[in-house]
Amino acid sequence: MKKLIFEEVTKTFGVVKAIDQLNLQITEGDVYGLLGHNGSGKTTTLRLLLGLLEPDRGNISVYGKHPIKDGDAVRRICGVLSEDVGLYEPLSVYDNLMYYADIYGISPIESNRRIDELLGQFDLSDKKHLPVKGFSTGMKKKVALIRAMLHKPRILLLDEPTNGLDPVSTADLRNMLLELAQERGTTIIMTTHNLEEVQKMCNKISILRKGQNIFTNSIEALKDSSNYRAHGQFRLEKLYMDIEKERAEN
């Protein structure tokens, strides 16, 4: 199986060590949750993976490719949803998506087919020719998610994907992402504070703290443990709080 690998990766900004000897190993088809407080290094990790930043030390491999030396090739197989959705708000939904489809090198016929397909899945077909300006946060997030998925990327990087989505849209997104991972082998890496969705969606997690990976395990193994239960049910929140408490005490 192909893997995304971080080996002893360090990245500093001035005197701030954003990533500190980070080790990660993510297998193709994983739905992987990167957890941690603000400033723990989650977004920096994604930027390093995309080759937008160069590590000071350590090695990164994305399916055998180097994010800096093979940056264009790495970014072509990735779809990205950043915290800032980055849409051209005066343009319509369709014009936004066609613009990015052209950047991805998708043919006009295929672009139109994919746009209609994804707009239908996200319940936005009736908004196709409306300007993005004035849309709610949730609707803009949906358009940005469609943009990230247009070119059928092998890797999806999602920064807080459920922020601003209503419960129905969140459930629809969860089902869609799980289908991508299970049926197409898409690797999905999500950074989020929504631990309930991580518990439902991810098969594996890592918790970052001060740029280090302080905990990694599969959700399946954690559910089998009796250490992180509340009222008889596994609760990822209890695990997270217990680990943070233990680290603070030490």
Q: Which residues contact 174 (CB under 8 A, 6 or more apart)?
A: 197, 200, 201
**What is the distance between the alpha carbons of residues 209 and 150, in angstroms, rounded to a whole number?**
33
Question: DSSP character for 131?
Answer: B
Query: What's the confidence (pLDDT) of residue 13?
Result: 94
**Residue 250's pLDDT is what?**
59
Interatomic CA distance for residues 63 and 103, integer angstroms? 23
Q: What pLDDT does residue 14 have?
A: 92
pLDDT tens digits along 124-148: 999 999 999 988 888 898 899 899 9
Quote the pLDDT of residue 52. Answer: 95
Strand-pairing partners, residue 61, are 5
Task: Tell me the CATH number for domain 3-77+155-249.
Answer: 3.40.50.300
pTM over 0.85: yes
Q: How high is the pLDDT of residue 83? A: 77
Distance CA 185, CA 205 (A): 18
Quick check: 45 and 19 in contact, CB under 8 A?
A: yes
Residue 230 confidence (pLDDT): 67
The pairing of strands 204-209 and 212-218 is: antiparallel
CA nearest 217: which of 201, 242, 239, 196? 239
**What is the separation of C-alpha 221 from the centre of its chain, rounded to a whole number of angstroms?**
22
Query: Residues 89, 132: contact at Cβ < 8 Å?
Result: yes
Rounded to 10°, the helix 108-121/93-104 angle is 130
The low-confidence residues of the chain, meaning pLDDT below 50, are none
Q: How far apart are CA 187 and CA 158, in angstroms?
A: 11
Q: Which pLDDT score is estimated for 184?
A: 85
Distance, in Å, from the CA atom of 144 to the CA atom of 80, rounded to the nearest integer, reads 9
Domain ranges of the chain: 3-77+155-249, 85-152
Within the chain, residue ranges assigned H as helices are 42-49, 71-76, 93-104, 108-121, 137-149, 167-184, 195-201, 219-224, 236-249
150, 101 contact by CB (below 8 A): yes
Q: Specify the pLDDT at position 247.
A: 67
Within 10 A of 180 (CB to CB), how many other CB atoms are there? 20
